[in-house]
């Protein structure tokens, strides 16, 4: 086991910068997730660590061993790195049985037959696939294939574990189970791991830290709570969870409490970590679970503000209602157990916990 | 993990990386193989003496001498005309067949399509003999026609007659390209025309055919190139009639000449090479265009066939007659001739049935040897070539080898080397390099030359299937600690088995049919079926020709059937 240091990694494809100056330090035993929309460079970063693809610049070291250093011209071939990589496609060799698939890396390391047998049995037991040792990959379900792929990687005790969207080929139910199973396995093994996904629930529930990537760059690096509760910019806020954005102007600033004037003149008070400049344009971002429908006659107070919105539509989504609201042309999504009656709905927004971004933004930009 | 022994994740880096000598070695092998016939020809073309004559000096005089050779202008004209006419014939038949068998509800479309492909599996040499036995001066149909209507209006001993045979043997190529393009075009384009009120034939003419245009253009250039390279048909029918084309010109002044003028031979060969290289370049340009056209809306929906209505059966009859007259009858007659001592409409068949022709093949060492040699060359040569081609495919498509682009280019270059040029070139190469005399007079020179000739054919069979194997499978092995060579052996080779079987089958057939290269290279003792066929023909041994041709047809038929039945190999499309 070892720590992983990526410094100033750059990979260009023609004029596209697939990975653009990415630096990440993954501590020994840490589980870090690369999260981001499709095409943001997650797989490219992973391939650079595994040695499947030669980057254009930067440095990668694992436990003091240099895998790649563009300045010194060092580039270790993948077979000399000792990484473990689980592919999105699982890449099980179709002409070998489960046991043979798992045995392959051990044969390469010249592990003696008896020892090899024992290790294969152990690792298959670990992933609960022992009864399937003699099957061929095409006779397994997607979830079982994924476990074999993991077993094949764990069996040689890789220095770091790289997982590229290992759950994305599973259906929703199986995915939940596999995630729970993976979380349990992760605490048991304690391997240094980089996990790639574009599923935020996987990222939030599994990771020690999350790296949110966008267009080849790191948008934010932090713990799941950091990322969720204190997103660095509207992109991160929008990408992780559902976020409502309201354009506003800072009307007043008194002792850490900012009074915002919304586009239609309504006022909201929020506490801000980083106080904005009075008079500037800002974007107020808040999660659906932070707000609620105001009770009848409730007014703004020290705890939170009440604002009036227009109801656009409501749809039943099982147990709850999803309500689309409109506030001066800004869309707001609310989930509630009681469907609103009438065209108007008053929302209650807490004073603490909302986030202010400088400038006008709707999150998509 | 609960394990006690530590296997150590990383495998210590090898002091030396095994793939380096393997990849460089294969690259060098391919480059040498392809350059071997070319460099001596180019060099000889600018020498005033023989290549092995140390007093020869550099000159440009050969080009002038070639231009001044009596009748050379006529040779070029004949070559052009034959290639052009055979292309026209091939494109007409091929395109019509593609539309009829691929896009209409003609009865028995599948079977007709299969039969239409037959000439592709045979060598043009065998097809020529077949046509001779039917449409030649004493052929069945000719004699029949004469007895009914007087003088037959056709002659195989003319440019038109030769173009007909060559066209029929090349029509399958045009057919296959047009068919695959028809399969890829968006059927909604046709349906839109029909909805707009266009009738069946108008839609075919205005929509289907124009959409096939890129495929027609590409296969036309391909067929024109093949027409230029063609040796067998002009050798058999052109020479007796005094019609010489570039290939037979080359043959006459080299292999058939007691004291060849090497400067002239090499210059003519170099000229041919330049023309073909240009045409192959043109093909690759057109292929780029074809792709751009045909994959446009390319969806997997099967286009609805055109309804022929009342014309269904008449068109079927025409197609059946074509297939009968162009392929089935000539080959059938050739096979029949092999089992008879004499064949004529006037003599009852039962009186002439005999196995004498095959006994003759058995008795005469030259013929027996040619068959054995052909089997050795095809069985072992194709195996060696398959190994080489498999390695080349892996290096080109599945390695980080620095010069893989160059290897790919070199491996595909033999498309631009005509069989006669390859034959002459290898002849020079082996004469030039000392110590190769042993190989020069053995069948191994044929194995080497055939291998070079058919690398592109083999790659064409391997590469598409290789590209379907997910790259994750070999990457997974690499990450787990297998180097390139181990990955190749343990992962890629088993996964490539169907591709390699297809490659071997195609090469076996190609090696078994090949004659144009061999004519320049064989020596007494290293005859193959192709060269023996030509020799027997020249000596007028019609029975032997029929016997050898029958054996060739039979072996190829068995090979194709086995490959299809056992391995499910698809040999085209
Ligand atoms: N071999 C390649 N050639 C050219 N461009 C490439 C290549 N591989 C990746 N790219 C480009 O690099 C960018 C990053 O690709 P990458 O595969 O790393 O994305 P990703 O974050 O893994 O996306 P996904 O979630 O869809 O897997 C993309 O814009 C992609 O088009
Ligand atoms: Mg990816």
Q: Which two tokens stand for residue B346?
A: 């006037």
Going by DSSP bridges, is the β-strand pair A344-350/A244-254 parallel, antiparallel, or unpaired? unpaired
Q: Which CATH architecture has domain A242-358?
A: Beta Barrel (2.40)
CB contact under 8 A, A51 and B479: yes
State the Cα–Cα distance between residues A106 and B415, nearest whole angstrom.
45
Candidates 1.25.40.10, 3.30.70.20, 3.40.50.300, 1.10.3720.10; CATH matching B72-335: 1.10.3720.10
Runs of H (alpha helix) within A109-257: 113-126, 142-154, 172-189, 200-206, 224-229, 234-239
CB contact under 8 A, A104 and B494: no
Candidates 3.40.190.10, 3.90.550.10, 3.20.20.10, 3.40.50.300; CATH matching A4-238: 3.40.50.300
Query: What's the CA dihedral at B506, B507, B513, B519 to 10 degrees?
Result: 150
Q: Does B58 touch chain A (CB under 8 A)?
A: no
Going by DSSP bridges, is the β-strand pair A16-26/A193-197 parallel, antiparallel, or unpaired? unpaired
- Residue B297, pLDDT > 50, answer no
Task: Considering only the beta carbons, identify the residue of B3, B400, B478 that sits closest to A122.
Answer: B3
In B, which residues are within 8 Å of A105 by CB distance? 480-481
User: CA dist B134 to B46, B158, B343, B512, Å?
Assistant: 46, 16, 11, 25
* Nearest Cα to Cα of residue A131 among A142, A113, A147: A147
Please tell me the predicted confidence (pLDDT) of residue B209.
Answer: 81
Region B43-66: mean pLDDT is 82
User: CA dist B442 to A274, B270, B431, B439, Å?
Assistant: 88, 26, 13, 5
Q: Does B482 touch chain A (CB under 8 A)?
A: yes
- Residue B236, pLDDT > 80, answer yes
**Burial A75-93, CB ≥16 within 10 A → b, else e:** ebbbbbbbbbbbbbbbbbb
Please tell me the predicted confidence (pLDDT) of residue B300.
Answer: 43
Helix (H, G, I), strand (E, B) or coil at A350: strand
Please tell me the predicted confidence (pLDDT) of residue B288.
Answer: 63
Task: Considering only the beta carbons, identify the residue of A79, A81, A157 that sits closest to B7.
Answer: A157
Q: For atom 18 of ligand 1, which residue has the closest CA?
A: A41
Q: Which two tokens stand for residue A179?
A: 């995630």
Sheet of strand A74-75: strand arrangement: A16-26, A4-13, A57-62, A65-69, A74-75
State the Cα–Cα distance between residues B422 and B408, nearest whole angstrom.
19
Please tell me the predicted confidence (pLDDT) of residue B446.
Answer: 94
pLDDT in tens, chain A (365 residues): 689 999 999 999 999 999 999 999 999 999 999 999 998 999 999 999 999 999 999 999 998 899 999 999 999 999 889 899 999 889 999 999 999 999 999 999 888 999 999 999 999 998 889 999 999 999 999 889 999 999 999 999 898 999 998 888 778 888 888 888 888 888 888 889 999 998 888 899 899 999 999 999 999 999 999 999 888 888 998 888 888 898 888 888 887 788 888 888 888 888 877 777 888 888 888 888 888 888 878 888 888 889 989 999 888 888 888 889 988 888 888 888 888 888 888 889 888 888 888 877 654 43
- Cβ atoms of residues A133 and A141 within 8 Å: no
A325 pairs with which residues across the strands? A311, A332
Ligand nearest to the CA of A41: 1
Instruction: Give the pLDDT confidence of B14-28 residue by residue, as tens digits.
Output: 667 888 999 999 999
B397 CA → ligand 1 middle, Å: 19
Instruction: Give the pLDDT confidence of B298-344 residue by residue, as tens digits.
Output: 334 556 777 788 888 999 999 999 999 998 999 998 999 899 887 77
Query: HEC profile for B163-201?
Result: HHHHHHHHHHHHHHHHHHHHHHCCHHHHHHHHHCCCCHH
Q: How many CB atoms lie within 10 A of CB B545?
A: 27
CB contact under 8 A, A189 and B9: no
State the Cα–Cα distance between residues B373 and A32, nearest whole angstrom.
65
State the Cα–Cα distance between residues B527 and B369, nearest whole angstrom.
7
Helix (H, G, I), strand (E, B) or coil at B453: helix
Give the number of beta-carbon pairs within 8 Å between A and B. Answer: 107
Please tell me the predicted confidence (pLDDT) of residue A64.
Answer: 86
- Residue B203, pLDDT > 80, answer no
- Cβ atoms of residues B228 and B276 within 8 Å: yes
What percent of chain B shows pLDDT beyond 70? 91
CB contact under 8 A, A91 and B472: yes
A6 CA → ligand 2 middle, Å: 18
Query: HEC profile for A105-143?
Result: HHHHCCCCHHHHHHHHHHHHHHCCCHHHCCCCHHHCCHH
| C-alpha R_g of chain B | 26
Mean pLDDT of chain B: 86
- Cβ atoms of residues B75 and B228 within 8 Å: no
In B, which residues are within 8 Å of A153 by CB distance? 480
CB contact under 8 A, B2 and A122: yes
**Burial B187-217, CB ≥16 within 10 A → b, else e:** bebbeebeeeebeeeebbeebbeebbebbbb
State the Cα–Cα distance between residues B569 and B73, nearest whole angstrom.
46
CB contact under 8 A, A109 and B470: no
Q: Tell how far CA B67 is from the center of its chain.
A: 30
Q: Does B7 touch chain A (CB under 8 A)?
A: yes
* Nearest Cα to Cα of residue B360 among B376, B346, B371, B344: B371
- Residue B152, pLDDT > 90, answer no
- Cβ atoms of residues A293 and A340 within 8 Å: yes
Greatest Cα-to-Cα distance within chain A, rounded to the nearest angstrom: 78
- Where in chain B are the domains? 72-335
Closest atom, ligand 1, to C-alpha of A36 = 21
Task: Considering only the beta carbons, identify the residue of A79, A119, A189 that sits closest to B481.
Answer: A79
CB contact under 8 A, A157 and B477: no
Q: Which two tokens stand for residue B313?
A: 């059966």
Please tell me the predicted confidence (pLDDT) of residue B556.
Answer: 92
Region B360-365: mean pLDDT is 88
**ipTM for this model:** 0.81
In B, which residues are within 8 Å of A122 by CB distance? 1-3
pTM across the whole model: 0.84
CB contact under 8 A, A157 and B11: no
Q: Which of A46, A91, A119 to mutate: most B Cβ within 10 Å?
A: A91
* DSSP character at residue A214: E
Distance from CA of A214 to the nearest CA of B (A): 25
CB contact under 8 A, A77 and B483: yes
User: B335-341 long-range CB contacts below 8 Å, 24 or more apart?
Assistant: B335/B546, B335/B550, B335/B553, B337/B133, B337/B542, B337/B543, B337/B546, B338/B543, B338/B546, B338/B547, B338/B549, B338/B550, B341/B543
Q: For atom 12 of ligand 1, which residue has the closest CA?
A: A18
Sequence-ordered list of residues with C-beta below 8 angstroms from that of B311, at least 6 positions apart, any chain: none
Q: For atom 25 of ligand 1, which residue has the closest CA?
A: A38
Q: Which two tokens stand for residue A7?
A: 């410094």
- Residue B7, pLDDT > 80, answer no
Region B345-353: mean pLDDT is 76
Cβ burial, residue A296 (10 Å; 0-12/13-18/19+): exposed
Q: Give the DSSP H or E segment for A336.
A: strand A330-336
User: CA dist B31 to A174, B35, B300, B349, Å?
Assistant: 53, 6, 40, 55
Task: Considering only the beta carbons, identify the residue of B2, B11, B400 that sits closest to A80.
Answer: B11
B residues 389-418 closer than 8 Å to A (CB)? 400
Q: Does B300 touch chain A (CB under 8 A)?
A: no
- Where in chain A are the domains? 4-238, 242-358
- Residue B369, pLDDT > 70, answer yes
* Nearest Cα to Cα of residue A64 among B10, B282, B462, B56: B10
Test site for ligand 1: of A42, A199, A217, A218, most ligand atoms within 8 A of the Cβ: A42
Please tell me the predicted confidence (pLDDT) of residue B71.
Answer: 87
- Residue B193, pLDDT > 80, answer no
**Burial B302-337, CB ≥16 within 10 A → b, else e:** ebeebebeeeeeebbeebbebbeebbebbbebbbbb
Closest atom, ligand 1, to C-alpha of A37 = 25
Task: Considering only the beta carbons, identify the residue of B2, B472, B478 that sits closest to A78.
Answer: B478
With a 6 Å cutoff on the Cβ, whether A89 touches ligand 1 is no
B499 CA → ligand 2 middle, Å: 29
Task: Considering only the beta carbons, identify the residue of B2, B13, B486 that sits closest to A80.
Answer: B13
B19-44 and B404-412 helices, crossing angle to 10°: 40
User: CA dist B540 to B53, B356, B535, B537, Å?
Assistant: 38, 16, 9, 5
* Nearest Cα to Cα of residue A79 among B483, B39, B377: B483
State the Cα–Cα distance between residues B56 and B44, nearest whole angstrom.
9
* DSSP character at residue A268: E
CB contact under 8 A, A80 and B491: no
Q: Which of B2, B4, B7, B13 to mutate: most A Cβ within 10 Å?
A: B7
CB contact under 8 A, A79 and B483: yes
Distance from CA of B227 to the nearest CA of A (A): 42
With a 6 Å cutoff on the Cβ, whether A44 touches ligand 1 is yes
- Residue B291, pLDDT > 60, answer no
Q: Please spell the DSSP secondary structure of A27-51, one letter per residue.
A: PTT-EEEEE-STTSSHHHHHHHHHT
């Amino acid at each position: 086991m070892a720590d992983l240091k990526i410094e100033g990694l750059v990979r260009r494809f023609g004029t596209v910068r697939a990975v653009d100056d990415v630096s990440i330090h993954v501590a020994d035993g840490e589980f870090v997730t690369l999260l981001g929309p499709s095409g943001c460079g997650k797989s490219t970063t992973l391939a650079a660590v595994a040695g499947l693809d030669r980057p254009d610049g930067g440095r990668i070291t694992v436990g003091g061993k240099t895998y790649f250093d563009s300045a010194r011209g060092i580039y270790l071939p993948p077979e000399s790195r000792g990484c473990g990589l689980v592919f999105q496609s699982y890449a099980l060799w179709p002409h070998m049985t489960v046991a043979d698939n798992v045995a392959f890396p051990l044969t390469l390391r010249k592990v003696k037959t008896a020892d090899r047998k024992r290790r294969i049995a152990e690792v298959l037991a670990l992933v609960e696939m022992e009864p399937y040792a003699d099957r061929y990959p095409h006779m397994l379900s997607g979830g079982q294939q994924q476990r074999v792929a993991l077993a094949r990687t764990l069996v040689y005790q890789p220095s770091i574990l790289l997982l590229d969207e290992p759950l994305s080929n599973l259906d929703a139910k199986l995915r939940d189970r596999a995630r729970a199973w993976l979380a349990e396995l992760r605490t048991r093994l304690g391997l240094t791991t980089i996990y790639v996904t574009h599923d935020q629930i996987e990222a939030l529930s599994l990771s020690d830290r999350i790296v949110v990537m966008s267009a080849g760059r790191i948008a934010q690096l932090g713990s799941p709570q950091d990322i969720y509760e204190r997103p660095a910019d509207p992109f991160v806020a929008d990408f992780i969870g559902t976020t409502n954005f309201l354009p506003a102007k800072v009307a007043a600033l008194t002792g850490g409490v900012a009074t915002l004037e919304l586009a239609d003149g309504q006022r909201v008070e929020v506490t801000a970590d980083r106080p904005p400049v009075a008079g500037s344009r800002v974007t107020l971002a808040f999660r659906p679970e932070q707000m609620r429908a105001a009770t009848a006659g409730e007014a703004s107070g020290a705890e939170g503000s009440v604002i009036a919105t227009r109801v656009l539509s409501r749809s039943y989504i099982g147990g709850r209602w999803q309500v689309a609201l409109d506030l001066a042309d800004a869309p707001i999504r609310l989930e509630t157990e009681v469907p609103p009656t009438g065209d108007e709905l008053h929302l209650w927004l807490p004073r603490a916990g909302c986030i202010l971004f400088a400038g006008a933004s709707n999150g998509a930009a | 993990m609960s394990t006690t022994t530590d296997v150590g994740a990383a495998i210590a880096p090898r002091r030396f990386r095994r793939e380096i000598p393997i990849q460089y070695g294969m690259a060098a092998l391919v480059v040498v193989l392809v350059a071997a016939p070319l460099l001596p020809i180019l060099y000889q073309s600018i020498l005033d003496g023989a290549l092995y004559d140390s007093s020869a000096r550099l000159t440009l005089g050969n080009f002038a001498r070639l231009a001044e050779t009596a009748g050379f202008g006529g040779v070029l004209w004949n070559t052009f005309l034959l290639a052009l006419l055979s292309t026209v014939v091939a494109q007409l038949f091929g395109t019509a067949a593609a539309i009829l068998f691929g896009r209409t509800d003609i009865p028995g479309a599948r079977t007709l399509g299969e039969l239409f492909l037959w000439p592709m599996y045979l060598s043009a040499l065998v097809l020529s003999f077949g046509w001779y036995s039917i449409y030649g001066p004493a052929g069945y149909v000719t004699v029949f026609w004469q007895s009914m209507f007087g003088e037959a209006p056709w002659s195989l001993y003319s440019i038109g007659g030769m173009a007909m045979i060559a066209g029929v043997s090349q029509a399958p190529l045009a057919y296959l390209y047009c068919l695959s393009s028809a399969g890829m075009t968006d059927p909604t384009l046709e349906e839109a025309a029909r909805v707009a009120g266009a009738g069946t034939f108008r839609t075919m003419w205005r929509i289907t055919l124009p959409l096939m245009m890129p495929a027609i253009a590409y296969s036309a250039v391909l067929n024109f190139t093949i027409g230029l390279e063609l040796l067998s048909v002009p050798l058999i029918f052109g020479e007796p009639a005094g019609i010489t084309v570039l290939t037979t010109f080359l043959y006459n002044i080299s292999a058939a000449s007691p004291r060849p003028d090497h400067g002239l031979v090499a210059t003519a060969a170099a000229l041919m090479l330049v023309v073909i290289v240009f045409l192959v370049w043109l093909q690759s340009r057109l292929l780029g265009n074809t792709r751009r056209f045909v994959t446009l809306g390319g969806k997997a929906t099967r286009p609805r066939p055109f309804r022929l209505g009342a014309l269904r059966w008449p068109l079927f009859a025409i197609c059946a007659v074509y297939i009968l007259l162009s392929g089935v009858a000539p080959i059938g007659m050739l096979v029949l001739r092999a089992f008879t001592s004499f064949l004529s409409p006037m003599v009852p068949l039962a009186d002439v049935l005999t196995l004498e022709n095959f006994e003759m093949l058995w008795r005469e060492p030259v013929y027996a040897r040619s068959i054995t040699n052909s089997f050795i060359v095809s069985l072992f040569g194709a195996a060696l070539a398959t190994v080489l081609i498999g390695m080349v495919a892996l290096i080109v498509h599945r390695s980080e080898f620095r010069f893989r682009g160059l290897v790919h280019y070199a491996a595909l270059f033999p498309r631009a080397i005509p069989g006669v040029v390859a034959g002459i070139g290898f002849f020079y190469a082996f004469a030039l390099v000392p110590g190769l005399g042993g190989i020069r007079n053995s069948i191994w020179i044929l194995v080497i030359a055939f291998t070079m000739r058919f690398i592109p054919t083999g790659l064409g069979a391997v590469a598409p299937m290789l590209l379907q194997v997910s790259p994750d499978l070999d990457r997974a092995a690499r990450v787990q600690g297998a180097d390139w060579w181990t990955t190749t052996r343990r992962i890629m080779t088993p996964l490539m088995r169907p591709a390699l079987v297809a490659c071997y089958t195609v090469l076996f057939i190609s090696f078994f049919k090949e004659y144009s290269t061999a004519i320049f290279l064989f020596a007494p003792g290293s005859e193959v079926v192709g060269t023996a066929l030509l020799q027997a023909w020249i000596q007028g041994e019609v029975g032997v020709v029929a016997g050898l041709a029958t054996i060739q047809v039979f072996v190829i038929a068995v090979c194709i059937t086995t490959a299809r039945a056992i391995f499910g190999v698809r040999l085209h499309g």
